[in-house]
């Protein structure tokens, strides 16, 4: 699913690269790309169109050499990619106090 989103957004021009090769988001294009992908996914799901789902995955669900190179640079730089923030009552425990009214 992440590859589908990345490649779809790339095709839609939702982001580009700056002079140093870093990704730069175009907010307007990203918004349109999100809307377009959501519409496509909801239509495929609503229609139960297994073939269209497969075609979408086939077209966009591939790791491109450009993305692999970016992932390799992230790994070589030691940038963590698996950060998860724990939240909820089990984390807060008795530190959760009612709001003042």
**Average pLDDT for residues 17-23, to the nearest whole number?**
88
Q: Domain limits of the chain?
A: 2-82
Q: What is the DSSP letter of 94?
A: G
Distances (CA, A) of 89 to 4, 84, 93, 94: 34, 16, 6, 8
87: number of Cβ within 10 Å: 8
Residue pLDDT, tens place only, 27-41? 999 999 999 999 999
Query: What is the tens place of the pLDDT at every residue in 66-80?
Result: 999 989 999 999 999
Q: What does pTM read for this prediction?
A: 0.76
């Amino acid at each position: 699913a992440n590859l589908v989103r990345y490649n779809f957004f790339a095709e839609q021009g939702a982001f580009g690269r700056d002079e140093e090769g870093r990704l730069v988001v175009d907010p307007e294009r990203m918004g349109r790309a999100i809307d377009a992908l959501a519409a496509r996914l909801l239509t495929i799901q609503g229609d139960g169109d297994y073939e269209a789902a497969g075609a979408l995955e086939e077209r966009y669900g591939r790791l491109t050499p450009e993305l692999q190179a970016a992932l390799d640079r992230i790994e070589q730089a030691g940038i963590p990619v698996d950060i998860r923030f724990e939240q909820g009552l089990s984390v807060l425990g008795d530190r959760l106090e009612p709001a003042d009214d």
